[in-house]
Structure 1
Amino acid sequence: MTPQTIEELLQDPVFRLKFLELLDRDPAFREEVRRKLLTDELLALPERVERLRLEIHKEFERVWKAIQENNRQIAALTERMERVEAQIATLAQQVQENSRQIAALTERMERVEAQIAALTEEVRDLRRTVGRMEERWGLAHENMAEDLMPRFLASAGRQVRRSAMVQFDGEADLVLEVEEADGRRVTWVVEVKGRVWGPRPFEQVLERIRDAVFRSWLQREGFPEPVIPVVFGLAIYAGAEAMAQKLGVGLYEARRGEVVAPPLPEP
């Protein structure tokens, strides 16, 4: 038998399933694959961001100490100027010296202010950079889900009437107001993940819809009851479908659409 090429192997469902199972149970192999897929620059990105944060923190401390030192110098100079004012008639020479010191202090303060302004601009640049990183690496999956879910629902006779992206505890959730085929309106809370395996994504969305603060937000925004838990993943691994069915959570994949139908209450 002619040996299979790598392209043929990748088209083989059995090979692909075994490959995914190996990723699930072998952390060392999974790490090796991750390092093959991600560039060195991406792997090093968290360390670079942390190093930059520490550098900024140190710079803030240095500037703050300089400001404190300047404040002490200003206080000393004020006390000195009060004595000079009392002796100004006979101490003109001393006044001139103090004037020179004031000019030097003013020059130093201007330099410090310039440094603070430059540092402030650097911090703004860093915030803009972090914002772009979050947009690129943090919310890309949620944006994809927001684009694809209405298409998947429309194919089943459902219509998305409105959607919202809301963040709670650092996690972004996609909330959809969905009109069912029979005209009922319900709320879908979609937990979005890049990869779905194990029970955690399903537990997270169930925890979210039980959260009192989150339910209060849904009520204030006018999202209707009942609330339906759904997980959306770019890639779904072995066992995820069974877990979704066991926990009563809808499951969607970016390529295939609906994998497990969400649990809808009786009309």
Structure 2
Amino acid sequence: MAFTITDFHDLVRLLEQHEEWRKELRRLLLTDELLNLPNAFRELHKLVDRRFAELAEAQRRTEEALAAHRAETDRRFAELAEALRNLSETFTAHRQEFLEYRAETDRRFAELAEAQRRHYEEFAAHRQEFVAHRQEFLEYRAETERRFAELAEAQRRHYEEFAAHRQEFVAHRQEFLEYRAETERRFAELAEAQRRTEETLRQVLLRQEQFQRTLDRFGQTVGVTVEGQMVEAVQRYLAERGYVLLEPIATLAIDRIGELDGIARVRGPDGEEAWLLISVKARLGPRAVHDFADLLRNAAVQEALRAYGVRGPVLPLIFGVVLDRRALELAREARIGLLLQAQGELVAPQPWTLEASGGSEDP
């Protein structure tokens, strides 16, 4: 049985009433690949975005091109739907006209049949146009598949590049791990060397403390020995110059300051009494002269001497074993006597007066 315009119109009306029929018709007209194209493209887009950030710009251009092609396809389908709708409206109008005129006259039936023939020819022309549009669609689909193949090839190349970069990253990471292990080993060696250095330093400090204690004991021994020699030398010195010791030569400790190595009251050849203040140095140098002069000028020392009963002039004298030549001139300027164990008097002491203001000597 031939497919008539009435049957086509009924088919169109049924399709408009049943959405599932239209879906089935679209499924028959369109391939599964085209129907699934949006979902597949979205999945591919997500995969490309997740794995290759650098393809984002290329993917964006691809999406724009696809959107343009999809818009063009939608426009053409819209045109086709509009043509079909217009054809349906035309068929509906003619069918209504045919029904109205069939009741009115048989003559109009012949005219309607002729009109039907013409409309069938128009439908055939529209069908040919549809076939042409379908051919265009198939060509577009082939072009789309070609572009998808190109995109898949580009994706494959990028994946290979990614794999190469990953291998390079693994190699660099291995190099970093080896470098870190070497660095940690060197830090461990440095820490061990630091520990050994600290241990060595501790030993050195311990030995230094032991040496200092030994040196202190030696200094005490030498000091006592030199002070003993000083007493004999000073006694001879005073006797040679007509001085008389009025009391034994003794040391005098001064709280929180130090001590005088020797102090004694003497009477001179002229019958005048004075106090002999003595400093003992194994090596007699400029520093010994400065320190002794500063000690005698110290107000607290002068106050301690006055409390001890020192009155009148004092005779400052430094006794030594070895002499630094630079001490001679300083001793003369400071008016301090120098007495060496082997050489005797080198500089005669000049009288000092202990003043309440502290430290100035008589001119």
The TM-score, its normalising length taken from structure 1, stands at 0.47
TM-score (norm 2): 0.35
Q: Which has the higher contact order (CA 8 A, sep 6+)?
A: 1
The structure in which a higher percent of residues are strand is 1
Instruction: Answer 1 or 2: which has greater helix percent.
Output: 2
Greater radius of gyration (CA): 2
